[in-house]
Amino acid sequence: MQGLSIQSLKKHKALIPLFVCVGLGCGASFFYTLRLALRNPDVSWNKRSNPEPWEEYRNKQYKFYSPNIDYTKEESPAPKY
């Protein structure tokens, strides 16, 4: 296919930033999805060893970015089971 090989990119140099931006966007979306799958308390991979993993995050900050609230000092309104 024209435009997808190294030889074609050497001829059409204007396509190089496009490929770089698309590649960085795909990589960032992959790593963010991986982070959500591994760090989010809503996802439980092993229910036998830890049946209620959300209890570990009662006073922890699990949001990606929170400039206004420090969750380590907040008390969770969720009931304790």
Distance CA 40, CA 6 (A): 40
pLDDT tens sequence across 20-69: 999 999 999 999 999 988 887 777 787 788 777 777 776 666 666 777 87
- What pLDDT, on a 0 to 100 scale, did the predictor assign at position 64? 67
Residue 35 · residue 43 · CB < 8 Å: no
pTM: 0.59
- What pLDDT, on a 0 to 100 scale, did the predictor assign at position 6? 84
For tokens 């009931």, name the residue.
79
Give Cβ neighbours of residue 71 (< 8 Å, ≥ 6 apart): 59, 60, 61, 62, 63
